[in-house]
Chains A and B, each alone.
Chain A
Amino acid sequence: MGASHSHAGNHSSGSHHGPGHYVKIWAILLVLLVLSILGPEIGVKWITIVSAFGIAFVKAYIVVQEFMHLKNERRVVHYALATSLIAMGMFVAGIYADVGRTAGENWKNQAAQSLIDKHAAEGHNSSAPH
């Protein structure tokens, strides 16, 4: 048995597109990159959010579907990725109440408070809750 990629069950998830398809996807990604750079230059907050972050999600979606071929993968892979996203969401939800705070009912983070005080003293405009 040779050592090629033709083992049982070792089929590729790749589609049967030609190189032109991938070059086209790459060109679309570059256009989106340019838009994400130019958008914030307008100076309008909602345009900045949409162009910088909204386009990032679109670019990531295109890479996942077209380059990583997730659209051709079996459900088990989708479940694995969904599980990690849910886990991350739970971790964030668990710590959210304490994020940005330097003191709670039974704890105090003096080091973080000192940093905030230092920045405030240097003239920075910190809105971190105390």
Chain B
Amino acid sequence: MGAQIPIATTRSATGVPTGRLAVWWVIASEIVIFGGILVAYILGRLMNDYWGADAANTNVLAGSVNTFVLLTSSLFVVLAHQAAENKETDKAFRYIWLTILGGLIFLVIKSFEWSYEIHHGMTITSSRFWSFYYTAAGIHGLHVIAGMIIMGIISFDVKKGKFLHRVENIGIYWHFVDIVWIFLFPLLYIAK
């Protein structure tokens, strides 16, 4: 008898493994959270022309680089999933940590960006645009941090060849975090 396997991991009432189905349900609930924020932002933006002037102060280069970083980290985590499927545990471990590195680079760029903006008086209370900016990007950033922590935890089991299916589960979550940024980027950086 090997490591204890949670009952939820070994059963499936829907044909979808319970763990993976749970991740999809998490994403379904996140769609409402992020979707609500994004739609509220779009409505506010359409009704307030001056938000465009505020948006002109965001750093397009930083946003673009961060989009590149997240897209690349998505590639790494899907390659980690593929390696885990092939039971190439060392390779999966490396790709997971490259994904975490991507998340770290994203956060470092974001922190420099925020430091600059706050230093120049663009704070969460400056205007409704900046309130949305810091709220949406902040909640997204927390999801990036959560994903990095979970990946770090599961990576050591993966290295031992245990619970390899979790690579796919965290990958689905990470791709969703990427998708949220794909929508935040044009809304907060491109549309002036």
Contacts and interface: CB of A to CB of B under 8 A. Distances in A.
Grouping DSSP codes into helix (H, G, I), strand (E, B) and loop, the A interface class, with mixed when no group exceeds half, is helix
A100 B29 CA distance: 25
Contacts of B132: none
A96 B67 contact: no
Given A19-B79, A68-B176, A100 B43 contact: yes
Contacts of A9: 10-12, 15, 17
A114 interface: no
A56 B85 contact: no
A123 to B, nearest CB: 9
Contacts of B75: 22-23, 25-26, 67
Classify chain A: how many residues form its interface, as a range: 35 or more
A40 B5 contact: no
Contacts of B150: none
A85 B161 CA distance: 37
Interface string B92-124: 000000000000000000000000000000000
Grouping DSSP codes into helix (H, G, I), strand (E, B) and loop, the B interface class, with mixed when no group exceeds half, is helix
A64 B176 CA distance: 8
B85 A76 contact: no
B32 A67 contact: no
B138 interface: no
Contacts of B53: 124
Given A3-B163, A60-B182, A40 B15 contact: no
B1 interface: yes
A42 interface: no
B50 A125 contact: yes
Contact of A56 (B5, B28, B186): B186
In the complex, the 9 A-B pairs of residues with the closest C-beta atoms, listed nearest first: A9-B12, A124-B50, A5-B165, A52-B186, A84-B28, A5-B164, A3-B3, A100-B47, A3-B162
Interface of A: 1-5, 7-14, 17, 19, 22-23, 25-26, 29-30, 33, 36-37, 40, 48, 52-53, 55-56, 59-60, 63-64, 67-68, 73-74, 76-77, 80-81, 83-85, 87-88, 91-92, 96, 99-100, 115, 119, 124-129
8 contacts: A3-B2, A5-B163, A5-B165, A9-B17, A10-B165, A19-B79, A37-B60, A88-B35
